[in-house]
Amino acid sequence: MKSTGLEFRMKDVQEPTDRRLNIDRRKKPTPPLTWFTFFGRRRTIRRKDEKRKGGYVDRYSPTLFVFLVSIIGLNVLDAFLTMLILDAKGWETNPVVRSVIDLYGIKFWIWKFFLVSFSIALLCLHSKFKLVKEVIVLLSGIYLLVVIYQIYLLLQL
């Protein structure tokens, strides 16, 4: 008997009235770039067990966007205020940033911007994990405090 390719095996069909196939689509990992990377519909994690563990979604919340953009904006403001403080004969207390300033001079902000932006992109991808949510809020708070302190220092000069 010749196969037409349209036959189904009985174990693939759950019930005669159910048209779904019992084939697990999750056997292969999702590729990094797919249609759903840019046009996906998944905004939240649906299952309770997955919510507890964390997971990945296609679209992100506006609140997350505000936090991430504020971190990047505060990072740029931090670099700008750092340059003003250094011009006013101040010094950098962070030893890593100080060594980058020694290497690259006033263009250190490019290094800092790309490093923070790359880190923010990684945090965005993992934002449905509980620890990452807390890190995002903590980072925005720390950056806000640093910028407020730098403004205070500039007002004292």
Return the pLDDT at 53.
60
| Three-state DSSP class for residue 7 | coil
pLDDT of residue 57: 64
pLDDT at 119: 95
Does residue 52 carry a pLDDT above 70?
no
DSSP 8-state class, residue 16: T
Taking the C-alpha atoms of residue 50 and residue 38, their distance in angstroms, rounded to an integer, is 22
Mean pLDDT calculated for residue range 76-89: 94
Average pLDDT, the chain: 80
Per-residue model confidence (pLDDT) at position 29: 65
Q: At what angle do helices 62-87 and 130-156 cross, to 10 degrees?
A: 30
Are residues 55 and 121 in contact, defined by beta-carbon separation less than 8 angstroms? no
pLDDT (mean) for 42-49: 58
Name which residue leads in pLDDT, 7 or 97.
97
% of residues, the chain, pLDDT over 70: 63
> What pLDDT, in 10s, does the model give residues 89-141?
998 998 999 999 999 888 889 989 999 999 999 998 888 788 998 999 999 99
Please answer whether residues 116 and 75 qualify as being in contact, where contact means their C-beta atoms are separated by less than 8 angstroms.
yes
**Residues paired with residue 21 on neighbouring β-strands, in sequence order:** 13
Residue 56's pLDDT band (cuts 50, 70, 90):
low
Residue 151 has pLDDT above 60, yes or no: yes
